[in-house]
Amino acid sequence: MTNLLRPRRRPSPPAALIALSAASALVATLVPASASADVGRDSHDGRDSRGERPVRTVVPTLDARATLSADHLAPGPASGAAATPANGRTGPWCGQVIPGFSAMVEGGDGTFWAQPDNGFGSQENSADFLLRNYLIRPDWDTGEGGSGRIEIESYIEYNDRDGVLDFPIVNEDTEERLLTGADFDIESIARAKDGTFWVGEEFGPFLLHFDADGTLLDEPYPLPGATSPQSPYLEDGEQPTVASSRGFEAMSASANGHYLYPVLEGAFVDDPDQRRRVINEFDTRSGRYTGRTWSYQTDQPGDVIGDAFTTRDGSMLLIERDDHEGDQSVIKRVYRVDLDRRADGEGFLHKELVLDALRIDNPRGIDVGEGYGLGETYSLPVQSFETVLQLKDGRLLIGNDNNYPAGDARVAGTPDDTELAIVDLERTTARPDAITVVSHRGASGYRPEHTLAAYETAIAQCAEYIEPDVVSTKDGVLVARHENEIGGTTDVSERPEFADRRTTKTIDGVQVSGWFTEDLTLAELRTLRAKERLPQVRPQSAAFDGLYQVPTLDEVLDLARHSRTCDGLPVGVYPETKHPTYFDGIGLSLEQPLVAELRRNGLDRADAPVILQSFETGNLRELDRLTRVRLAQLVNGTGAPYDLVAAGDDRTYADLVTPAGLRDIARYADGLGAEKNVIIPREADGTLGTPTNVVRDAHRAGLDVHAWTFRVENQFLAADFRSSADPNAPGDLSGELRAFLATGIDGVFTDNPDIAVATIEADAR
């Protein structure tokens, strides 16, 4: 990679070896150990013509897929009389709907036991849905054969024919006492060695024990201290401690079957950290919880745990997902945790990315073109990604609960099929590009800037760094916003409860009116939703307005360190401190909290993939004393750093990019983040002129140069790269990029990482 990606003050292992270590940890139980062997070497120590080492990495690849029609009906009485109509489907249906699978276990011989949930989403509308466990046989479409259909071979019906339950059920007065979706919300499953089934559910939340034929064997096992609003044991006036539909969505079993590990889908309602998810241990021999628990931290407060599976070495796979579907999806991931590993400094399990279900290679073109997410890259963008298990051959099976008839992630207006996919964690060798691609505020050309959706999109588009601008809330929490004034990037102006917070302030010598982060607590800011800053320019991004929260810096750092670039390296973070002099003046300094966040996330080290940047100079000098990560001085084409202006220092940005100014920057920083005009000025007609000597002089001073900001719309391009007079139409961004790359810059900030990556890769071939 470039010089700016190397450590500042002490040597460290080569980037490729760092990536190898991470990749090995991620897939140690999922692929043979030889898959993460050492970097390939040749007579030049494995380096290519650009001096870059190849990286051995893991690429999830689609091996097979099978589906069951969303409209498939199994034998039985009519179902869905109270289901909410959607996607052109209205109940009741003349049979039992199969609304996807919330949990599965291998049945052997190519079959699986596949369990739907409680039916139609709530206790109130699922009384006619019978709780079942289906034995299925997929005829896998491998791209080289197979029908791609899921066949239903048989099923068992869960029942209480022995009268174990001590509360009334829907079929209370029948002989079979078949259980329904109004009695339990079954979500997870484990099969014991004796053939019985342990089922986790959400209304209690309870653990249920059924024999091999589906008959309830024991009274439900409640989790001490956990009651949901639907619990039959909730006393009058008692407040539930678990939110509705946040019980045992996930559960795995130990290899010997002695222990179950049910996982609460959501946080306890009174937990001050709403990103905490609790894993519990249950002893199947004694029928009691052991009292041992583990804490898992989700990427976002609203993420839920969709499934769990214990691998052969005892580590655990967990599905973490958001509640979005289709192109709105952000987090549909499988993480690995080790319950025997010591927790981090905050008491949470270390989690490692195994699979991003939104980024799976599909080289054989399985079902390409049949809906959203079915292309060269396969994704499972459904709301309820709820099944993961490791097959005996080490590959992963993933699947969905389709929320029939509501889910339509694949084809708008058409209910999603039940779908299963087999994913191989293939090994490959990648060579990192010599040019660093920084996603400017995320992939802000496609999603509202400074949202986890924008950052995840940038990662999917192969950016190497995500860039959060950092400001402070009233209670001192650092969050990602382009400016502390948020009237244009959130829906705060539409919230009557914040109408009285509108004010006018002087920020860096300029009067600004609106709503400011420093006047809102984090809890208040959490109630807002992000929106596109330039809706007339980017209506495609504005289509996502109102969906996403403002992320904290901690959440951005977590997303990055739990992700990997397309080259297999850790995703870097490039935070910019906004208006540091202003925030110092109101008692909310950014520097110390920023370094504290880095330390808390294990990123305050010389080899961390972190670069801190600022338009001011004084706070960079302060950060140079506080942290070991790399620093970059931002320079604009006009004006001066505000800290110098405030101090009466008459130096401008133009003075900073003289040879003497660059040598001074090199005393406290490692790189220069230069506005495009500083590198290639524009002529009077708006075309590119002759490059300056700034890149050459910066390199001589030992600084890397990253140029900003490259955007695809005509209005942001030099005139010679515009496609028309329409300022919002896309122009020739690749052409402009090539002109700047020719100056020798080391990296680019861009709103369109996909175009930048494609341009750089094409030029490298």
Residues annotated as catalytic (active site), given as ranges: 440, 482
SS3 1: coil
SS3 52: coil
CA distance 748 to 705: 9
Question: Contact, 478 vs 553, CB < 8 A?
Answer: yes
Q: Which is it for the CA torsion 579, 581, 584, 589, positive or negative?
A: positive
Shortest CA distance to 538 belongs to which of 634, 437, 636, 457? 457
Shortest CA distance to 67 belongs to which of 101, 41, 43? 101
What's the chain's Rg over C-alpha atoms?
Answer: 28
CA distance 261 to 178: 27
Shortest CA distance to 630 belongs to which of 614, 608, 661? 608
Phi, psi of 651, deg, nearest 5: -70, 140
Question: Contact, 610 vs 592, CB < 8 A?
Answer: no
Task: Give the list of residues 6+ apart from residue 8 with CB closer than 8 angstroms, or none.
Answer: 606, 628, 629, 630, 631, 670
User: What CA–CA distances, in Å, run from 171 to 85, 90, 205, 222, 327?
Assistant: 25, 24, 21, 22, 41
CA distance 608 to 21: 14
**Axis-axis angle for helices 591-600, 618-626 (nearest 10):** 30
Q: Residue 507 is inside which H or E element, if any?
A: strand 503-507
Q: Would you put residue 686 in left (φ > 0), alpha (ψ -120 to 50) or beta?
A: left
SS3 523: helix
Question: Contact, 349 vs 292, CB < 8 A?
Answer: no
